[in-house]
Amino acid sequence: MDIGFIGLGNMGAHMARRLVQAGHKVFIYDTRQEAIGDIAALGAIAVRSPKEVADSAETVMVSLPTPDIVLKVATGPDGVIEGKKVKRFVDLSTTGSVMAQRIFKLLADKNIVQIDAPVSGGVRGAEKGTVAVMASGPRADVEAVEPALKVIGKFFYIGEKSGAGQTMKLCNNVLSAAATVATSESMVTGVKAGLDPRIMLDVINASSGRSTATEQKFPEVVLPRTFNQGFTAGLMKKDVDLFLSEAKALGVPVQTCEAVAALLKLTCDELGPDSDITTVIKPIEKRAGVEVRSKS
């Protein structure tokens, strides 16, 4: 299959690489020349703009950091919407359902079908092809790209409605954020009371409090103080804010998730939006006067 791929960042580079290695003919674009060069060296074909990507392939995938950038790449000047060959726009980013529906309508005017297919599983999942891919859109068009999406990760069809995949992604990510935040508060409390953080994690992971935060983030990233999970606090704040907006529009009370958003904002304010998601523990540590770290 001929596939266009735009956005070769932490996640996108791995997904594009997997498509190339699976034998697809992949046309790539990114604003960073070095990112293009890395994937082109594997056999992808570099082009000079989103429009040129959409001139080259019927299916164009994007993996981009913010909803506004997705909108610009999809529908702006020299964007995918101006391409001569494109029939399907597959958005692997996290934009929220409102933006997904907006792009769907704008592209539909040019007979381009938008498929939202956000992914979850982090950089390691993208590298290994184990991310969850949550696709929604017209069934026939989703089925046409399903083989390629299965190269990227574990495929789930969410439904016909535009934006349904985005809603699913936000529901997942807010749980991931909440687990990381709650684990941070729990671990700081235990350490300040004199508990060994390694023993804490062993007990939690054998008990009902376990999550990906306790099973992977804390033992591998927080306790060694590397803080290199590969996903920024700013991007997680964006996802949680999108969730809050969607939930409130639906009339759902979300006090717990609002507290999660508040700590993410504090983290971004004190450490910067490019700080790793696992650094959400640092503002708590600072105020408690302890650090959660390996003793050996």
Instruction: Give the pLDDT band of residue 64 (cuts 50, 70, 90).
Output: very high
Instruction: Give the pLDDT band of residue 191 (cuts 50, 70, 90).
Output: very high
pLDDT of 103: 97
The 10s digit of each residue's pLDDT in 232-243 is: 999 999 999 999
**pTM of the full structure:** 0.92
* Residue 107: pLDDT over 70: yes
The 10s digit of each residue's pLDDT in 147-172 is: 999 999 999 999 999 999 999 999 99
Q: Which domains occur in the chain, in start order?
A: 2-160 (3.40.50.720), 167-288 (1.10.1040.10)
The 10s digit of each residue's pLDDT in 170-183 is: 999 999 999 999 99
Catalytic residue positions, numbered:
169
Instruction: Give the pLDDT band of residue 295 (cuts 50, 70, 90).
Output: confident
Q: What would the DSSP string read from start to end of 106-121?
A: HHHTTT-EEEE--EES
Q: How far apart are CA 57 and CA 52, in angstroms?
A: 9
pLDDT of 224: 97
Alpha helices (runs of H) in 41-163, residue ranges in sequence order? 50-56, 67-75, 97-108, 122-128, 139-152
| Alpha-carbon torsion angle 176, 241, 278, 284, nearest 10 | -110
- What average pLDDT score do residues 108-122 get? 96
Query: What does the DSSP 8-state code read for residue 279?
Result: G
* Residue 296: pLDDT over 80: no
Query: What does the DSSP 8-state code read for residue 102?
Result: H
The 10s digit of each residue's pLDDT in 206-222 is: 999 999 999 999 999 99
Identify whether the C-beta of residue 283 lies closer than 8 Å to the C-beta of residue 263.
Answer: yes
User: Average pLDDT of the chain?
Assistant: 97
Q: How far apart are CA 188 and CA 287, in angstroms?
A: 10
